[in-house]
Structure 1
């Protein structure tokens, strides 16, 4: 097996060799961004015609670059949202009571629902430019990435080791110092693996996000997702094969040039007293460490960084805890509860008015029963995904060599757009006489199961090496090892994976419960089919009812099950 030179060996090379590689790589990256980004600045005003997709394989590198740029912009926006939203929700009890249920609801809303609502606003924000459609596409990808990352960061902040939290309080660090020195580092491994999962999941919605409907006019943005959709519509198998090969190449390049270096860098954030026995490796990360220019730039920016830290630390110094009497606390709680009840009452009144004037109670009972059937599919999916992927994730997380071997594989499987496989799966169900009521579980799992795998990997990697060595020294094996070390160590991460897999499965049910092959359509009985059929005929009252019922199921499940598991993780199962 070929190995790359270590950073120490690279430093012994003539001055500037590693730096030349870094400079050339940076210039190439900037040139690509400029070249690809220029395509988003063309003039556009509905109902102008956007140039169609050319199925010539020579266009695939450009289309792939356009889609990849959208994915990374959405990832950047998702990261900023995650840090802000997750921090507020984790550090304010009152805010948490509103923000986490709201996050549950937002996670349950289908991605294309966001797109249909916001596209007109984005076009108005950038009049006369294609940037409006680009922003709408990026926003759709953003909504497919951000909820999983936010849940992960929020849960990590709620399970920060108590002794570290007490040390930060004892030294009276500012809120900014606490955020940068404790909270972000403590959540880095879990956040990184969930960001990787979210980025891969974003490919699922690339095709839909690149085909946008405005004023009953369809516009197709250049991208690999729209290329695949055009190839499928044209029944052009060679073009589809070239597109799938291009997706595979893009996934591998992104893994090698972006995710693998980040994983190697994040190893220093492990919460343990001894370094991991076998740290993850990356030739790009070794090259960056060997180069002198990144260090010189970092040293030159030290004064700026120190100034920013001083300013933000001064603005966020901990305030003396105000003495609140029991009477004041009770009045505050009563005011908060009154406002919350008023909001809930207004929503209930609007819901009753909506039901009485549009769909009727019989339709509500029908959608509730359909929701129960979809809930059973989601439950079966979660059970099987946990039993299959949790042991695999732990094995990958505990073994760096296995991680180096399998990470690109699982990254590829998670990133591959599962909806491109649906037509072939439909043909298999037809020929095998498999009911879509059961087959839809498999289709839903193609997009949702990876959340459990990636969180299991992150949870296993977060277990300190000294605890693993101690467990081996005292002879913990088999089920005892799982009971005493692995389950407590990964429980918090598994809960995050479970809640996001559950939300992803509900979202995927809309495209998994009704699938087609040619003139044959297979339809499962469930809430996803109900929403898909209502959307196809433009029945907005039933679309609203279906999405509202799905949100109630997701929020209710999170309140009754996942929230209690979160609390168990905070109280019992964290380092």
Structure 2
């Protein structure tokens, strides 16, 4: 007689429906990656021509997959760069003095302008394969993601709560243990929200990164960005509509399947003594929690993980075991300052020689004046973005129900490629007689304002629930609540959002101060338009001068304003 297993036996069965869903989902994901990735391995020998983009809507899923795969590969390398670069800058005073100003410059320089120089090197890395062009495209997306994430991680390491820092020193944690048990967990929430912002900002660069110029030849990689560009050139409105719908679907899917599970997982890193009033939810995260396979894999990998941790802990001694020779450190600082002065002197001498032999002194004063006008636009943008988006970000960060409702909305708005809206905005300016001198601020805001919103959300979520409850108990409301609780709690995150929004606005000025609709071109007076016009005619001396002047403005602003605000966050406004 055939018998059925008892309910107790069924519960002991190693696999359940959640495990079946995880297995099927993993297999589908691997199959999609294999199918999409196969297209990057085809043969390619410059100056061969990559097949043109087909505007048939049936190709959109494949094109969207190619672009999304590039985005995630760039995100992976951005995360690795962030953890390494941010850790070194935060833990070495000498390295910080070079690495942070360098980061200021890199986030302000329009890297796409130099892509034609680096793409030759990428092609040489993968001779006879399309992987060279793919790597160049991924590099362009990487440059749009990484600076914001690095600033966030660096600032989080500089504002680790003092009691946790003292506890790590007291327990003699190795540098590796400190990194994995204190540094990364304390930075996770802020880093995650900035990664979401960076990933969304990367869509802005997808269209440009999929059309690459090398050896005087234009190559268009298959992707949703190149599809949209082809639809605009062909004036194919139905194809453009299908592409925009596809982008919207991709953004929603990525949010549901990737970002929401990470947000739900990151809630355990909140620094508080009481449980969160209402934790973020994700059906994917709940599915993974219910499945047995992830736990089984975790147990199976535990011995290997512990062995690696032991080896790395032995190789990285605790901070307190390093004896500091004050005299030697002072001599090192003096040597460092001398070397830095020599480098600055060489750069100044080269700059003077370059100016005198190419553009002339008068052009320098002209670009400085144009830089002041662009600085005015950036300042107005930051003020309005702070006033509008900071309260909204705090409301989302404090209310999990509101976060579940609005997070997909703000993620979609931040991820939607702003450059696709520029032609319609230009037509609006023409019809309403709005001056591009002011309209360019709106165009810059379409890409830069989200940094402040996402960092405000991250900062609000990092404020412990017990502090919020205490503020409610003692009756803190209105401005007093902001002054005593919210501003100190989110100040560090807001500074990170401000510095990255500022850099993003300077970068966006190049495409925002000169826009066109048909035969009509609107040009604002500013440094961004100066660089764009010089790039159009291929005037490399003025391109170099414009980018150099923009870098000086960004670095000067960061040193005079944002560095001081960072110091204020480290010394006064952090938990």
Question: How would you bin the TM-score normalised by the shorter chain?
Answer: over 0.9
- 3-state SS of 2:127 partner: coil
Is contact 2:169–2:318 with CA below 8 Å preserved after alignment?
A: no
The match for 2:62 is 62
1:324 and 2:325 equivalent? Answer: yes
Unaligned runs of 5+ in 2: 1-9
Number of residue equivalences: 565
Deviation, structure 1 residue 12: 10
Residue 538 and residue 12 in structure 1: after superposition, are their counterparts in 2 closer, same or farther (change >3 A)? farther
CA distance in 1, matches of 2:323, 2:117: 44
The match for 1:88 is 88
Greater CA deviation, 330-339 or 236-245?
330-339
1:558 and 2:558 equivalent? Answer: yes
CA distance in 2, matches of 1:524, 1:121: 36
CA distance in 2, matches of 1:12, 1:415: 44
Deviation, structure 1 residue 393: 0.1
The match for 1:272 is 272
CA distance in 2, matches of 1:126, 1:431: 49
- 3-state SS of 1:515 partner: strand
The match for 2:20 is 20
Deviation, structure 1 residue 11: 8.0
Is contact 2:261–2:284 with CA below 8 Å preserved after alignment?
A: yes
Is contact 1:11–1:291 with CA below 8 Å preserved after alignment?
A: no
CA distance in 2, matches of 1:121, 1:180: 35
Deviation, structure 1 residue 333: 1.9
1:104-503 equivalent positions in 2, closer than 5 A: 104-318=104-318, 320-326=321-327, 328-503=328-503
Deviations 1:237-259 (A, max 9, x none): 00000000000000000000000
CA distance in 2, matches of 1:332, 1:263: 43
Deviation, structure 1 residue 447: 0.1
CA distance in 1, matches of 2:324, 2:433: 69
Deviation, structure 1 residue 45: 1.0
Deviations 1:83-122 (A, max 9, x none): 0000000000000000000000101111312423311110
Residue 21 and residue 367 in structure 1: after superposition, are their counterparts in 2 closer, same or farther (change >3 A)? same
Is contact 1:90–1:154 with CA below 8 Å preserved after alignment?
A: yes
Is contact 1:114–1:140 with CA below 8 Å preserved after alignment?
A: no
Deviation, structure 1 residue 318: 2.2
Residue 535 and residue 16 in structure 1: after superposition, are their counterparts in 2 closer, same or farther (change >3 A)? same
- 3-state SS of 2:218 partner: strand
Residue 322 and residue 250 in structure 1: after superposition, are their counterparts in 2 closer, same or farther (change >3 A)? same
Greater CA deviation, 333-342 or 390-399?
333-342
Residue 572 and residue 279 in structure 1: after superposition, are their counterparts in 2 closer, same or farther (change >3 A)? same
Deviations 1:541-566 (A, max 9, x none): 11111100000000000000000000
Deviation, structure 1 residue 332: 2.0
Deviations 1:331-386 (A, max 9, x none): 22211110010111111111011101111110111001000000000000000000
CA distance in 1, matches of 2:500, 2:215: 33
CA distance in 2, matches of 1:22, 1:111: 39
Deviations 1:237-293 (A, max 9, x none): 000000000000000000000000000000000010111100000000000000001
Is contact 1:53–1:230 with CA below 8 Å preserved after alignment?
A: yes
Deviation, structure 1 residue 201: 0.2
CA RMSD, Structure 1 to Structure 2 (Å): 1.2
- 3-state SS of 1:21 partner: helix
Deviation, structure 1 residue 140: 0.1
- TM-score of the superposition, structure 1-length normalised? 0.97
- 3-state SS of 2:358 partner: helix
Unaligned runs of 5+ in 1: 1-9
Deviations 1:273-330 (A, max 9, x none): 111100000000000000001110110000000000000000001263324244x333
CA distance in 2, matches of 1:164, 1:18: 37
